[in-house]
């Protein structure tokens, strides 16, 4: 992993600020391959993603009464000047492929990610359309299709043709 230089232009990366305050507020990545990273202090760091990179961002918080925020989002970093969705802790923003709220839904998506990883496929490399499919099926209270090695090969072939 490359460490971002202090003078690195923000415009070339999508930056994700991660935060960890045990049991109170936790922002972390379920998956992602940052192009660069920098530590801000003991509890915070910034991960930088180049255009086209996909990452899974978890936001969780609790108070004296229990969990108050439980979110998981699969985001796609975009090039400078492309339209983005503004997103907390993500600068300048990203394209949202999947967004779920509530621990039960987050756990369900984590199970789907575990199944993808069991196939030997890195979630970072999964077809963006599959993340959108999961998002739409969960919103409709339906069961998403599984991701398969054949579907992944088809995605890689399509991606190669588009390059």
Q: What totals of helices (H) and strands (E) does the chain contain, helices first?
A: 3, 9
Please give the Cα distance from 45 to 43 (Å, whole number).
Answer: 7
Question: pLDDT band for position 64 (50/70/90)?
Answer: confident
- Residue 7's pLDDT is 36
- Residue 3's pLDDT is 39
How many domains is the chain partitioned into structurally? 1
pTM for the predicted model, two decimal places: 0.89
Question: pLDDT band for position 157 (50/70/90)?
Answer: very high
**Sequence-separated (6 or more) residues with CB below 8 Å from residue 87:** 73, 75, 93, 94, 96
Please give the Cα distance from 98 to 56 (Å, whole number).
Answer: 9
Mean of the pLDDT values across residues 70-98?
95
Identify the domain containing residue 111 by its residue range: 2-162
Average pLDDT, the chain: 92
Give residue-wise pLDDT tens across range 87-119.
Answer: 899 999 999 999 999 999 999 999 999 999 999
Question: pLDDT band for position 148 (50/70/90)?
Answer: very high
pLDDT at 4 over 70: no
């Amino acid at each position: 992993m490359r460490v971002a230089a202090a003078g690195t232009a923000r415009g070339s990366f999508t930056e994700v600020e991660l935060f960890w305050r045990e049991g109170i507020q936790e922002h972390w990545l379920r998956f992602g391959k940052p192009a660069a990273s920098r530590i801000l202090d003991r509890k915070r760091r910034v991960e930088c993603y180049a255009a086209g990179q996909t990452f899974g961002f978890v936001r969780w918080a609790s108070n004296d009464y229990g969990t108050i925020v439980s979110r998981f989002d699969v985001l796609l970093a975009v090039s400078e000047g492309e339209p983005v969705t503004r997103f907390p802790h993500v600068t300048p923003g990203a394209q949202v492929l999947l967004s779920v709220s509530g621990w039960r839904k987050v756990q369900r998506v984590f199970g789907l990610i575990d199944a993808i990883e069991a196939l030997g496929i890195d979630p970072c490399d999964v077809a963006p359309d599959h993340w959108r499919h999961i998002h739409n099926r969960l919103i409709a209270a339906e069961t998403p299709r599984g991701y398969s090695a054949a579907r992944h090969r088809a995605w890689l072939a399509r991606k190669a043709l588009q390059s």
